[in-house]
Chains A and B, each alone.
Chain A
């Protein structure tokens, strides 16, 4: 039986006919839309490489059935930059060497973007480490990742102050 769903992916509405209900959001993004920035690491919700934002919240796309997310608004790593202008979190990862091989990086960046909007960690490195614990980095670039998130948080704080000044 075919199922029709529609999603908004990086701002554009996309309609799909699913001939198999087993397709995850991760596989839909990678195989149907060829948005391969979202990585398949463990495919079991343990590594965080597949992190995307669904309706503004970070989740593991490997453990989400596409069919159950009809109508959802999805943001992937391909949708965070504005043309050539990197998202502040992307720029911070480059500035602080927040990666080595790069495989976990899209998930790290999407998780960091989600974390900053959750506003639970502030500028406390210990809270950032805790709030980012769902993203594994086998190269061990954690120190640079925490520095990048702290930098992005500081940038957000500054722009908030500028707006309120």
Chain B
């Protein structure tokens, strides 16, 4: 690991000032960053430790019916907050389907959003990677790429964003609150992560010094609590990243879908909101035919980036099943195997 300066600011504004210089990065739990630093993938000159900052570890119910989650709330604390899990069950299920219990205890909300791709070529410093070293090339294009992107990729980069948490969040119109050198601003989570295009090394809309301080869910996000699921296919049933995942949330009244939300994970460099699919689910009955049409719309622009054409059909089927599970109703308790198609508790269809 390269040597670095360590600073521990006392306030958010001190942190922003300390992190605005080139080569500086924020340290929260470090569950991804330290791994990257040990491998020489990330080589920061300065770590700005934000873990001791006051006020960033709270979950606040807002007067308008929304919720504000501090960036330092741990993944586990959020998933196990009973009121949160009841109001946003797909988000809790997604959190509990990610990583391991130890990592969820440490990892923060803000860090989860900004975790890096798990593309093996990004991690292997002997490989060419445009994301790690701009302009060096992409060894994933002709390499082991069965888990890589099928949407939004470019010739320069076919990596996927690995977060489970972000998938239901983007479906529920989450907003990211950012403190930066020019003060406070907020953006839609859907605009936080960038598609690779010609600049895969630029992964987010954040500028130097920008610090995510909170994630907010708007009041309408609660309206999907009765019909919301996260479904995730992985190479092993626990402690693995998604090959493909989907968050599905429905608002059903009198047998008709009033509003649908759908997002996919593991398919692109960002959590993939499928708005065209949502549109065809408005004012229709929650039937398998309707869900198949939605799945077809969601993957209409998909194309393989290598040996991963199977992911397109897999994603269609996961969309249909996630919507079917959501229509059947949110289970009273998160299944023993969160988000697994092999879960043996209520609501699941056995493979």
- Interface of A toward B, CB cutoff 8 Å: 1, 3, 20-22, 24, 43-45, 48, 51, 57-60, 62-65, 67-68, 70, 111, 114-115, 118, 120, 124, 126-127, 129-135
Contact = CB atoms under 8 A, between A and B. Distances in A.
Nearest to B33: A63
Interface string B194-205: 000000000000
B70 interface: no
A63 B47 contact: no
Interface in B323-351: 336-338, 344
B100 A133 contact: yes
A111 B47 contact: no
Give the interface residue-count category, chain B: 20 to 34
Contacts of A63: 29-31, 34-35, 103, 106
Given A43-B38, A44-B35, A127-B336, A68 B101 contact: no
B interface, over-half SS: loop
A120 B4 CA distance: 39
Contact of B336 (A48, A60, A65, A124): A124
B308 interface: no
A65 B27 contact: yes
B31 A60 contact: yes
Given A21-B4, A58-B101, A68-B30, A133 B238 contact: yes
5 contacts: A21-B6, A57-B105, A65-B49, A127-B336, A134-B239
A27 to B, nearest CB: 11
A20 B3 CA distance: 8
A interface, over-half SS: mixed
A22 B102 contact: no
Interface in B1-47: 1, 3-6, 8, 27, 29-31, 34-35, 38-39, 47
Contacts of A44: 35, 38-39
Nearest to B28: A68
A75 to B, nearest CB: 14
B256 interface: no
B102 A60 contact: yes
Contacts of A120: 80
A70 B8 CA distance: 11
Given A59-B106, A60-B102, A115-B101, A68 B1 contact: no
Nearest to A52: B102
Contacts of B6: 3, 21, 67
B1 A45 contact: no
B154 interface: no
Interface in B173-207: none
Contacts of A135: 100
Given A3-B6, A44-B38, A64-B30, A126 B337 contact: yes
A32 to B, nearest CB: 17
A59 B105 contact: yes
Contact of A68 (B4, B49, B337): B49
A134 B100 contact: yes
A129 B337 CA distance: 9
B51 interface: yes
Contacts of A64: 29-30, 34, 106
B106 A68 contact: no
Contacts of A127: 336
